[in-house]
Structure formats: structure tokens, C-alpha cells
Amino acid sequence: MTAFATADDLEKRWHALTPTEKHKATTLLDDASDLIRTTCPDWQQARPSTLRRICCAVAKRAMLAGDDTAGVSQHTETAGSYSESYSYSNPAGDLYLTSAEKKSLGVGCQRAFSVDMMPEASP
């Protein structure tokens, strides 16, 4: 199956990618597309632009983690009287959908229906 977005789509939404980043982005966009297909049963009802946007956002989150933060959940540096602290939002570079993205794809949205329990009267 094809990905919902390309590395060029990700570049338009983020920044120019190096050849190494493009290769990684292509793999992550494929994985993000698979995540959407397996997590969201009604993904076919979403517009192509919505699928492209969400696919790029998922891949970007994973790429922002970088290789030097693997497994880091908090980082503090101190030099003399100065201190700097970081908390990484996705230290392992996991692929995930936010609740807003799931809602855009129809996951968790309420639906209503009715069932007629009365059979039609025969003449």
C-alpha cells in the first residue's frame, strides 16, 4: 500500500530535508500510514488532505526525537550557578496519533442510529 504522504509533503510543512532525512522520512511516512490504517477503521472516509496532514505530523514527531535522545525522559545540565533542564515530549521517537488527529479520522466520534422493532402490519 502506498503512503498517504511523501517526503516532499513533509518538507512543505516543515523544512528542507537532507538526503538521509528524506530516506528516514519515507520510511516513517509508510509506518505512519500503516498506523492510521490499523488504528482508525474509518480512515477511508477521511479526505486525502486530512490523511496527508496527519501522516506528516506523525512522522515529524518521530523525526524531532533525533538519534541523540534515545530513551531520555528528562535532561538537566548545570554549570556553576546556571542550570538548564529539558523534558522531551517523545524521547523514543514513537509513532502515535494525538486525540485531535484520531477525532479527525473518526475515532471516538459518537454516532446515532435507530432500529425499528415493530414489524410492519400485514393487511
Half-sphere exposure of 68 (CA within 13 A, CB side): 1
Tell which residue, 21, 54, 25, has the closest CA to residue 40: 54
Q: How many angstroms separate the CA atoms of 57 and 99, rounded?
A: 13
Which sequence spans correspond to the domains of the chain?
7-67+95-104
Instruction: Classify residue 10 as exposed, middle or buried by CB count within 10 Å of its CB (0-12, 13-18, 19+).
Output: buried
pLDDT score, position 114: 82
Helix (H, G, I), strand (E, B) or coil at 72: coil
pLDDT over 80 at 77, yes or no: yes
Encode pLDDT of 81-92 as tens digits.
Answer: 999 887 777 877
Q: 79 in helix, strand or coil?
A: strand
Q: Which residue has the higher pLDDT, 123 or 45?
A: 45
pTM of the model: 0.77
